[in-house]
């Protein structure tokens, strides 16, 4: 099963999910956007040439990042999208909408207090988790039928 | 060939099909929903947190189960759906409709006396079987061209 | 907005929804399967020729009914599916699965006590109602933004 | 041409676009989510029954709102999505991702200073505007070929 | 309801269906390929320039005919395909396969003695008729729920 | 029937087709990209703000033009694409590829001496014309079955 | 590359193509319908139970055969369809139409004298061959770029 | 990741990309049209029989080439399309449009001075490169997140 981990790139949530899945012996292939924030911002001008204007620097970078994320999103069996308090993560919500339109099962991960602001995204998901470990438990159940504990 | 076995989880029909396919040496990869009834009912609250209200307990569980079943349904070459007298198996009929809309070949398995109640589902199927062994015979023919006996 | 009313054809739930929508002045075009039970059972043999065997009588009838229901299902903006205690309504669940695979918004209508048996279908729906009048309220809100009362 | 105006419901940007289009004599049919914030929050419990838990109140409401927004999104020729500083508008970004996956032309509207945070969304758009009047100008050009001024 | 009448262009079956539908007051818009055999054969060279080689004359003509038939096939709610003893009507079977892949409801019309040769096509259809009047009866039932007689 | 006229905007071929269709009394709704070359080049900066760099001026303009052309391409029953000696018309070939992927019937219009350079595009078309009047003849035949002369 | 060989099952054309591909060292995985005529006719009643009526015997058999052919058709990179003088092969033409609607590249194989009767099918194909060895040459060119001889 | 390299077949750009990807240790499977110009021109008549008329020679050849290119285009994760000053490369632009309609990420490669003529194609791309080495850098970033240098 291929699982795309979309969203916030500042905390270690992807590592916790990957470690949990490994510990549980799950056959999951995780993928993610480029999680090096500086590289993800600078890739456009580093590869396609410098831009004096920030908007076009961003456009070039976002294009390259989209080559990766679209390919992974379209190939994923399940998409997990993570939101937190600190960042607006509009691209996370964009990815969730993209997955929803494709009909790909969606798991949303966020602190419960964001629930109201994320109600439309949560409604499109098949599971809403507060902690990365719940995502692991969900994947284990989906793959093996085993409950936690 | 990947075959998804949808529907009733109380009898041993899946085992009979798998055993028959193995005996016939067929290259089929079977998949199924979680067939442990209690786990399938409790998974939502066990993984995503308790719910006092039965309806939301069910909603959480059904969401997790759908991550599995949607993924398997979409990846299946053939979908077999089983009905019996005792259970209403609305989710079996739901899966049959889902497969029909995807254009995935459908085999329906049920006692002949359910034929009238299932006539719309049967009409959408490419084969209607009464016994699991007929499903095995159908898969053998589809894969090898060999007739039974 | 075109709304297809799938499922149980023995009670007056379609009339109650249509009357409510008319009273609320909603611009909705309702459609439904043939709701004359006898015609729906006999159409195959009446039009395509007699069958001694019940199964083939049913197959012929279900084919004709499917010409109608598939066309309406595919053209609907919203699909409402009704279940009740008395009938198994496997074709209702089939239609719900078909709509879900198409990505068409789904409203499910059933007595609350059927919730557990219908949990997979309910989870695929965007609204679960207990009474036809709630369906009218939902359609009014969807079309006009007005809340009841 | 049908244009869906997604996103922020607190300022008068939809009115400014509609007024501009009317003044320009454009044949555009605008649609939008329910823009009455209270109704949009309360619709679920008002129509489908009360919920003590905020999360399920939100789930019920978001479901009803999605019946409207999915139908409009899927039927739109062009989708305009508005972001501003004050609100996180994750559902706006969700709608943008949904439209992108459908291949529907997307216009994004936001203050230029949000450009970096929205770079992935902007990259998926065919036009990025700072003011509602630019959206009108864009629609006029698209429909008539006339430039502003 | 739009109904495309594909297949054999040598007998009056289309007229009989149209007359029957008119007599029954059905709201059906029928369409068909060009039924003037000579025009259908010569259109390519008459419009796109002469060809000494029969194969390319046919290729030019078949291309023009396909502009019409593909457009009508894709826009049809129901496709009726007629076969008879005298002609091989490979294009009729081609149209049936095209409709089947689109998921468009299919009605097949042929003398019963062709049933074995047409068994794959018949199996893909939702109704198999022997006479044009049965097609009218089927359309009336589908549209109005009324049985013949 | 809706016909999109893609490609070269420097000669009067669109007018000749429209005049011919009018003279023939055909029910065709023609659409086209913005054919005012200067407007089509300048629209981006005129509406979305000035750009010192030609590449970004072009990107802004091409985005606005694509809102129009994508919408028309997707809604067309038939796409006519015109090439000539003088211009490279890469966007014409792009539109032809887009239409081919959608399965929309394609008519290509170009001087015969371009045939070799356009062989891949011609092969994807259902008719290859040298003169606009042949396009009119083709549309008349497709709509009415009448041959020219 | 997976190639589905549809159509006539009475001559050795499939063997000739397979032998030629093997001799040329091509990496092609060929598939086909069940080519044992008797098994293909009898499978329905042998597996799903006897039928006194030929039409239903055929319906049962055609359903089982369709499980195989639909799965192979949908998974094929290229579809080759063979016609000959002796048989009507309506199912071959049906498969060709099915492949055309899916956008799968089509190669048609038939004696040249059938060209006129098959002109619509030939027009939908990317290559028309008279001999199985030409199909091998075509596949070799497609896979390796090598010309024959 | 599978990458299809479409367009101009006269210079060594494909080799430079392949060599760069190999040097960078990227797991990319490159594919391309037949790049032997003479074979690509002659394949039709060499395999399917001689044609006195150049147009039909081209039609036969283009058909065979399309079997290859359509299959590769549809299976590609990323499509790279190359244009240069010397050739019109209408088929390159056709392939770009085809990929755009499929939603496949597109990288365009051309000398900057072609930017204006290619503005519609560039706008549909997620990256515009001037040199093959930039394509390698883009693929490395997409696959590994590493920036050049």
Predicted confidence (pLDDT) per residue in E68-113, tens digit: 999 999 999 999 999 998 888 899 999 999 999 999 999 999 999 9
Residue B149 to residues E77, G7, G50, Cα–Cα distance (Å)? 44, 28, 15
Going by C-alpha positions, the residue among A45, F93, F76 that lies closest to residue H94 is F93
Q: Cα distance from C104 to chain D (closest Cα, Å)? A: 8
Q: Which chains have 3+ CB pairs within 8 A of E? A: B, C, F, G, H
Burial of D40 (C-beta count, 10 Å sphere; 0-12/13-18/19+): buried
Model confidence pTM above 0.95:
yes
Neighbours of B26 (CB within 10 A): 17
Neighbours of D127 (CB within 10 A): 28
CA distance D76 to chain A (A): 14
- All residues of chain C having their beta carbon less than 8 Å from the beta carbon of residue G53 are 53, 56
What's the confidence (pLDDT) of residue A62? 97
Residue of C nearest to G56 (CA): C56
Burial class for B45, CB neighbours closer than 10 Å (0-12, 13-18, 19+): middle
> Cβ contacts (< 8 Å) between E123 and chain G: which residues?
58-59, 62-63, 66
Contact F103, F131 (CB under 8 A): no
Mean local confidence (pLDDT), A31-54 = 96
| Residue F12 DSSP code | S
Write out chain H residues lying below 8 Å of G109, CB-based. none
Mutation site for G-interface testing, chosen from B107, B108, B115, B141 by largest number of G Cβ within 10 Å: B141
Distance CA G24, CA G17 (A): 10
Q: B82 by DSSP, 3-state: which? A: strand
Separation between Cα atoms, residue A23 and residue E10, nearest integer Å: 72
Chain H: closest CA distance from residue F65 (Å): 8
Is B129 in a helix, a strand, or coil?
strand
Share of chain D above pLDDT 70, in %: 100
Q: Rounded CA gap, B63 and B43, in Å?
A: 10
Minimal C-alpha gap between D122 and chain A (Å): 8
Out of G88, G102, G121, the one facing E117 most closely (by C-beta) is G88
Strands, sheet with A29-31, edge to edge from the N-terminal-most edge strand: A29-31, A2-7, A78-82, A106-109, A127-129
Which residues does chain F have with pLDDT short of 50? none
Q: Which of E140, E139, E138, E108 is nearest to E123 (CA)?
A: E108
What is chain A's mean pLDDT, rounded? 96
Q: How many CB atoms lie within 10 A of CB C89?
A: 24
Measured distance CA(F90)–CA(H95) in Å, rounded: 11
- The tokens for B74 are 């979409």
Residue E45 dihedral angles phi and psi, to the nearest 5°: -75, -30
Residues facing residue D128 across a β-bridge? D108
**Chain G contact partners (≥3 CB pairs within 8 A):** B, C, E, F, H
Chains F and D: 3 or more CB pairs within 8 Å of each other: yes
Section A113-123 average pLDDT: 96
Of G5, G3, G30, the closest CA to residue G109 belongs to G5
Q: Quick check: E145 and C32 in contact, CB under 8 A?
A: no
How near does any CA of chain B get to the CA of C31, in Å? Answer: 18
- Closest Cα in chain F, distance from residue D20 (Å): 14
Averaged pLDDT score across all residues of chain H: 96
Does pLDDT of D85 surpass 90? no
CB atoms within 10 A of CB F74: 17
H105 and A67 in contact by Cβ < 8 A?
Answer: yes
Are the Cβ atoms of H116 and F63 closer than 8 angstroms?
Answer: no
Say how many residues make up chain F.
Answer: 149
> From chain C, which residues contact G within 8 Å (Cβ)?
53, 56, 59
Instruction: List the single best residue of C45, C58, C67, C98 to mutate versus E (max E Cβ within 10 A).
Output: C67
Give the other-Cβ count within 10 Å of E15's Cβ. Answer: 11
Q: Which residue of G has its CA nearest to C56?
A: G56
Smallest CA–CA distance from B123 into chain G, residue: G63
Tell me which residue of A95, A106, A46 sits closest to A72, measured CA to CA.
Answer: A95
SS3 assignment, position B87: coil
Closest CA of chain B from C22, distance in Å:
31
Strands in chain E per DSSP E: 2-7, 29-31, 78-82, 106-109, 127-129
Q: Let me know if chains D and B touch, i.e. at least 3 Cβ pairs under 8 angstroms.
A: yes
The partner residue sitting opposite H103, judged by closest CB among D103, D123, D126, is D103
Residue of B nearest to E120 (CA): B126
Three-state SS for F37? Answer: helix
The answer to whether H and C touch (≥3 CB pairs < 8 Å) is no
Q: Look at residues A87, A84, A135 and name the one whose alpha carbon lies nearest to residue A112.
A: A84
pLDDT value for H85: 86
C130: nearest CA in chain D? D48
Tell me which chain C residues have a C-beta less than 8 angstroms from the C-beta of E109: none
List the single best residue of A97, A100, A103 to mutate versus C (max C Cβ within 10 A). Answer: A103
Round to the nearest angstrom and report the end-to-end CA distance of chain E. Answer: 23
Of D62, D119, D64, D113, give the one whose Cα is nearest residue D96.
Answer: D119
Query: Which of the residues in chain C have pLDDT under 70?
Result: none
CA distance F108 to chain A (A): 32
C-alpha distances (whole Å) from B22 to each of B31, B107, B139 are: 14, 19, 11
CA C51 to chain B, closest CA, distance in angstroms equals 14
The three-state (H, E, C) secondary structure of chain C, written as one string: CEEEEEECCCCCHHHHHHHHHHHCCCCCEEECCCCCHHHHHHHHHHHHCCCCCHHHHHHHHHHHHHHHHHHHHHHCCEEEEECCCCCCCHHHHHHHHHHHHHCCCEEEECCHHHCCCCHHHHHHCCEEECCHHHHHHHHHHHHHCCCCC
Q: Give chain F positions within 8 Å (CB) of G123.
A: 126
Q: What is the least distance, in Å, from the CA of C145 to any CA of chain A? A: 17
Q: How many CA atoms lie within 13 A of C6 on its CB side?
A: 32
- Across the range A77-102, mean pLDDT stands at 94
Edge-to-edge strands of the sheet including D127-129? D29-31, D2-7, D78-82, D106-109, D127-129
Rounded to the nearest 10°, the torsion over CA B1, B4, B9, B15 is 0
**Residue in chain H lying closest to A36 (CA):** H145
Sheet strands (E) in chain D: 2-7, 29-31, 78-82, 106-109, 127-129
- Give the residue-averaged pLDDT of H113-137: 97
Tokens 């799950």, residue?
A26
Best CA proximity match to H52, nearest among E59, G110, G133, E56: E56
Q: What is the pLDDT of residues C13-38, one digit of tens each?
A: 999 999 999 999 999 999 999 999 99
Task: Identify the closest residue of chain F to H58 by CA–CA distance.
Answer: F119
pLDDT digits over G22-58, tens only? Answer: 999 999 999 999 999 999 999 999 999 999 999 999 9
Between vectors from CA D52 to CA D50 and to CA D54, what angle results, nearest 5°? 100
List of residues 6+ apart from C105 with CB closer than 8 A: C77, C78, C79, C126, D66, D67, D70, D71
Rounded to the nearest 10 degrees, what angle do helices F132-144 and F13-23 cross at? 40
pLDDT of F12: 94
Interface residues of chain F, partner chain G, Cβ below 8 Å = 101, 103, 123, 126
Q: Phi and psi for H127 in degrees, rounded to 5?
A: -155, 140
Residues of C in contact with D67 (CB under 8 A): 78, 105, 107, 126-127, 138, 142
ipTM over 0.85: yes
Length of chain B equals: 149
Q: Which two tokens stand for residue F110?
A: 């170009």
- Residues of chain B with Cβ-Cβ distance to C58 below 8 Å are 115-116, 119, 122-123
The rounded distance, in Å, linking the Cα atoms of H68 and H32 is: 9
Identify the weakest region by mean pLDDT among A40-44, C81-85, D84-88: D84-88
CB contact under 8 A, C47 and E141: yes
| CB atoms B48 and A149 under 8 Å | no
- Asked whether G and A share 3 or more beta-carbon pairs under 8 angstroms, the answer is no
Chain F interface residues (partner D, CB cutoff 8 A): 34-36, 39-40, 42-43, 46-49, 60, 63-64, 66-68, 70-71, 74-75
Helix pair angle (B37-48, A132-144), 10° resolution: 170
Tell me, what's the pLDDT at F120? 96
Helix (H) or strand (E) holding F3: strand F2-7
| Token reading at G106 | 């089509």
Q: What is the pLDDT confidence band of residue G86, given thresholds at 50, 70 and 90?
A: confident
- C-beta atoms surrounding E132 within 10 Å: 22
Q: Beta strands of G55-146 (E only): which ranges?
A: 78-82, 106-109, 127-129
pLDDT tens, chain B, 149 aa long: 999 999 988 899 999 999 999 999 999 999 999 999 999 999 999 999 999 999 999 999 999 999 999 999 999 999 999 999 888 889 999 999 999 999 999 999 999 999 999 999 999 999 999 999 999 999 999 999 999 98
Q: Which of B42, B63, B74 shows the shortest C-beta gap to A127?
A: B63
| B8 within 8 A of B89, measured Cβ to Cβ | yes
């Amino acid at each position: 099963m291929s699982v795309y981990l979309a969203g916030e790139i500042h905390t270690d949530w992807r590592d916790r999910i990957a470690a949990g899945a490994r510990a549980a012996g799950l056959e999951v292939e995780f993928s993610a956007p480029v999680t090096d924030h500086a590289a993800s911002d600078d890739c456009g001008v580093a590869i396609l040439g410098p831009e004096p204007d920030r908007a076009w620097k961003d456009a070039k970078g976002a294009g390259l990042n989209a080559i990766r994320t679209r390919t992974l999103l379209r190939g994923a069996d399940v998409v997990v999208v993570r939101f937190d308090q600190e960042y607006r993560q509009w691209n996370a919500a964009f990815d969730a909408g993209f997955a929803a339109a494709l009909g790909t099962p969606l798991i949303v991960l966020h602190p419960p207090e964001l629930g109201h602001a994320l109600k439309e995204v949560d409604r499109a998901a098949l599971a809403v988790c507060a902690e990365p470990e719940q995502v692991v438990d969900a994947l284990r159940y989906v793959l093996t039928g085993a409950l936690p504990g």
